[in-house]
Structure 1
């Protein structure tokens, strides 16, 4: 795993393009995304099959990642979709870009 991903991150998982979205925060994005993909943690993402990492943003501190998560969760669905499509217009599963190294 690449060291640069062993830092706080805010992320969005989806079950399909324009489908159900889950916003979360973690200190180890590759590990957390893998857990969502494999369904190893019971809860929302397992129930709604949110296995695609469609957006993420690294943060300097966990506090800033949590602040960003709250900002995203407090926003509208349209804002979440715009955030995803601004950097990932094809809704590509970004897991492959973070899982190597």
Structure 2
């Protein structure tokens, strides 16, 4: 792996800078314990960080209420990713089931 690569296959010199919130890291540990295929998450994060549109199956959309200003997409039907994109950062906020997050 080249030195300019970071997690999820996102290159530092391409796309967004990747930032993981502490809550996301805890959620990710739980997701791994549940036996989820983390490669699916990596594929979605790679696309987001490099400015690629997600396919319709990921149901990418804006959130409201407590998560106003954030976006959510589906990794699987009941496995979600909450994130925020700025001009320079992709911030991974939370991941988990509907029951975990809402």
Question: Which band: TM-score by shorter chain?
Answer: under 0.3
| Greater strand content | 2
Select the structure that is richer in helix: 1
TM-score normalized with structure 1 length: 0.25
Q: Greater relative contact order: 1 or 2 (C-alpha under 8 angstroms, separation 6 or more)? A: 1
TM-score by length of 2: 0.25
